[in-house]
Amino acid sequence: MPSTPHTSPSPPAPASPSPPPGAGSPVRAGQAPRAEPRRSRWARLVESDLLYSFIHSPVTVIAALVTLTIFTAALLAPVIAPHNPFDPATLNLMDGFSRPMKANEVTGNVYWLGTDAQGRDLFSAILYGSRVSILVGFAAVAFAALLGITLGLIAGYRGGWVDSLIMRIADVQLSFPAILVALLIFGVFKGVVPPALQDRMAVYVLVVAIGLSDWVQYARTVRSSTLAEKNKEYVQAARVIGVPAWSILLRHILPNVMGPVLVIATIGLALAIILESTLSFLGVGVPPTQPSLGTLIRVGQDYLFSGEWWIVFFPGLTLLLLALAVNLLGDWLRDALNPRLRR
């Protein structure tokens, strides 16, 4: 009987390695990998370089706190202010020239920052005056940005004689200081509008005057960015498929040129507030019934050398802190949005 050959048993197949904990089930052949859950905007903000740069810059944090404090105090002026400086019925001439934190010799009233010649509480006047200055500053920056961005997009995208015309107008305006342009607009306003309507329209004219004197830098910046963006592939692809020009400008080019605009707008806010205060100091800004920081400084400078120093000191200090804090925020934003300038 023939013997059967002896065969050795085949070795067992090696076991597949188990996936590490938390890795999920392995991806099989022909199966699409699972998409990672989308992070929320708050999570992306926390992990962004912008927030990291802000937290690790003590000067920027202090500037942001000062700006937020002044903005909040101005916004809540009717709630925080002890008196309404716009209501003559609440004023007492006997409280005039009260020194800061000292009782008045006649009435015995104590005011934190003193009073002016009319007995107005300077703390309340500064709160209400800051509201006017900040409101005019924001409105002027918004108007200048809207006008400059629109003209810059048109000049950069269309090119040709349209670009040349807009840029030559911008060059001519740059040869004049902004305050002279604003004074010229106010002069035209005084000659055209009837005197009975001048006080009512003074704030609106002030916004237009500051905005028209500050639109050039927005237009030049947006134009240069548009010239670089319009030749890129995504813009060319949008043209090929027949997307209208206005849609290309608003949906494709505009979001990619807003970085420098935000920096200019932040710094421009401080410049607009200073320009408004300068015009009000010269007597061509808001009417005396709506005092701003510039109006308070103009009133206080008459008493600067007669011993009532606080009337001009505290409004000037508020304007200095506000302009400096906003400027520091603009400088940080410029460095944070430009990788080449990051330290």
Give the model confidence (pLDDT) of 39-96 as tens digits: 665 566 556 677 888 888 899 999 999 999 999 999 999 899 888 887 777 888 888 8
Whole-number pLDDT of residue 51 = 81
Using alpha carbons, list the distances in angstroms from residue 76 to 56, 126, 130, 140, 287.
Answer: 30, 12, 11, 22, 22
State yes or no: pLDDT of 2 exceeds 80. Answer: no
d(C-alpha 215, C-alpha 20), whole Å: 59
d(C-alpha 96, C-alpha 85), whole Å: 13
Tens digits of per-residue pLDDT, 171-205? 999 888 888 888 888 888 888 888 878 778 888 88
Alpha-helix residue ranges (DSSP H) falling in 35-177? 41-46, 49-55, 58-75, 77-80, 122-158, 160-174
Q: Where does the pLDDT of residue 143 fall: very low under 50, low under 70, confident under 90, or very high at 90 and above?
A: very high
Tens digits of per-residue pLDDT, 280-316? 888 887 877 777 899 899 888 888 888 889 999 999 9
What are 132's two structure tokens? 């006017």
Whole-number pLDDT of residue 22 = 46
How many percent of the chain have pLDDT more than 90?
37
Whole-number pLDDT of residue 259 = 85
Range name among 137-141, 166-170, 336-340 with the lowest pLDDT average: 336-340
Q: How far is C-alpha 284 from the geometric centre of its chain's CA atoms?
A: 25
Residues 6+ apart with CB under 8 A from 259: 337
Do 94 and 104 contact (CB within 8 A), yes or no?
yes
d(C-alpha 94, C-alpha 92), whole Å: 5
Q: Where does the pLDDT of residue 33 fall: very low under 50, low under 70, confident under 90, or very high at 90 and above?
A: low
Mean of pLDDT values over 134-141 = 94
Tens digits of per-residue pLDDT, 213-249? 899 999 999 999 999 888 888 888 888 888 888 888 8
Whole-number pLDDT of residue 194 = 84
CA torsion angle 70 73 76 80 (round to 10): -170
Whole-number pLDDT of residue 37 = 56
Phi, psi values for residue 317, rounded to 5°: -65, -40
Q: Give the gyration radius of the chain's Cα atoms.
A: 31
Range name among 181-185, 260-264, 329-333, 334-338 with the lowest pLDDT average: 334-338
What are 282's two structure tokens? 């010269």
Residue 329 in 3-state DSSP?
A: helix
d(C-alpha 136, C-alpha 74), whole Å: 13
DSSP 246-305: HHIIIIIIGGGSHHHHHHHHHHHHHHHHHHHHHHHHTT-SS-TTS--HHHHHHHHGGGGG
Q: How far is C-alpha 295 from the geometric centre of its chain's CA atoms?
A: 23
Whole-number pLDDT of residue 304 = 81
